[in-house]
């Protein structure tokens, strides 16, 4: 389930390494661009996004309104960043595609979710490719609109009494679940605050982070994973 999140994380680490030291022509395996391109070319129409593989190696695809849907488009953006840092060579396979164009194309299926989505707190994950787009083109109005819509959706899950944003919905309003993963969604609040000047979004993110540190981080630095406020 976390396949593309792990790949994206590895690409980000490679990007940071290349940026902090001296960019090299090869980062990670040259098979990565080949496999990512093959996956892009196999995307269903209407678009569905790969989430995990079965025992025979076949991708399982899910509708855009799924919490993992932002990972694959963001992987394409990450390969574009890697290409800009390392440039193409005979050994790194980065000349296989126009990764920016593919990232933009793959993200299109997420745009309608700005109106309605059922992923709850994971709108932050859906925002990832649009955050990457604004790094490249800060004037992209579609990306701005999507990010702001997702930020408002996440902010609406905030409870000032609890001091955090609800993770999963519950039929019982007093059953207020918060998982450690929700920390990764806070970026969309910071991004939207920069775009709109709505400082309340930053305050929500900080309060949620403070609550997480207090209740979900053990003394040894490990995560408690889930907390429930009643």
Q: How far apart are CA 12 and CA 7, in angstroms?
A: 9
pLDDT of residue 230: 44
Residue 63 burial (10 A CB sphere; 0-12, 13-18, 19+) = middle
pLDDT tens series, the chain, 230 aa = 455 554 555 455 445 554 555 555 555 788 899 999 999 999 999 999 999 999 998 999 999 999 999 999 999 999 999 999 888 887 889 999 999 999 999 999 999 999 999 999 999 999 999 999 999 999 999 999 999 999 999 999 999 999 999 999 988 878 899 999 999 999 999 999 999 999 999 999 999 999 999 988 888 888 765 554 54
Range of 30's domain? 1-116
- 122 tagged catalytic: yes
Domain end, chosen from 66, 99, 116, is at 116
List Cβ<8 Å contacts ≥24 apart for 208-217.
208/158, 208/163, 208/164, 208/165, 208/178, 208/182, 208/183, 209/183, 210/163, 211/162, 211/163, 211/164, 211/178, 212/164, 212/178, 212/180, 212/182, 212/183, 215/178, 216/178, 216/180
Same domain, yes or no: 14 and 81: yes
Q: How far apart are CA 99 and CA 135, in angstroms?
A: 15
Contacts of 97 (CB under 8 A, 6+ apart): 33, 37, 40, 79
- Annotated catalytic residue: which of 122, 175, 210, 220? 122
Same domain, yes or no: 56 and 102: yes
52 sits in which H/E element = strand 49-53
> 190 near 198, Cβ under 8 Å?
no
Map tokens 């775009």 to a residue: 195
* Core vs surface per residue 133-164: b (16+ CB within 10 A) or e: bbeeeeeeeebbebbbbbbbbbbebbeeebbb
Same domain, yes or no: 78 and 160: no
| 134 belongs to a structural domain | no
Q: In the 8-state DSSP scheme, what is residue 206?
A: H
Domain end, chosen from 65, 92, 116, is at 116
Domain end, chosen from 95, 116, 137, is at 116
pLDDT of residue 221: 81
- Annotated catalytic residue: which of 19, 56, 95, 181? 181
- Report which of 86, 109, 132 is spatially closest to residue 40, judged by C-alpha positions: 109
Q: How far apart are CA 185 and CA 84, in angstroms?
A: 27
Map tokens 């792990």 to a residue: 6
**Per the structure, how many domains does the chain have?**
2
| 129 belongs to a structural domain | no
pLDDT of residue 223: 79
Same domain, yes or no: 110 and 166: no
């Amino acid at each position: 389930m976390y396949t593309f999140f792990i790949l994206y994380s590895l690409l980000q680490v490679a990007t940071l390494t290349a940026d902090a030291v001296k960019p090299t022509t090869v980062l990670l395996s040259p098979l990565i661009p080949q496999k990512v391109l093959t996956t892009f070319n196999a995307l269903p129409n209407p678009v569905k996004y790969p989430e995990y593989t079965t025992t025979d190696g076949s991708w399982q695809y899910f509708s855009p309104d799924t919490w993992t849907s932002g990972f694959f488009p963001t992987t394409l953006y990450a390969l574009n960043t890697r290409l800009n840092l390392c440039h193409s060579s005979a050994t790194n396979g980065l000349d296989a595609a126009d990764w920016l164009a593919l990232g933009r194309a793959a993200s299109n299926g997420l745009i309608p979710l700005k109106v309605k989505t059922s992923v709850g707190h994971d709108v932050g994950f859906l925002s990832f490719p649009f955050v990457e787009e604004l790094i490249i083109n800060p004037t992209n109005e579609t990306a701005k609109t999507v990010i702001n819509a997702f930020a408002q959706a996440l902010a609406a899950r905030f409870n000032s009494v609890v001091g955090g944003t609800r993770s999963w919905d519950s039929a019982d309003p007093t059953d207020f679940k918060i998982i450690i993963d929700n920390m990764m969604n806070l970026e969309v609040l910071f991004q939207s605050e920069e775009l709109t000047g709505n400082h309340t979004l930053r305050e929500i993110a900080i309060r949620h982070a403070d609550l997480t540190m207090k209740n979900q981080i053990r003394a040894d630095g490990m995560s408690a994973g889930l907390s429930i406020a009643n």
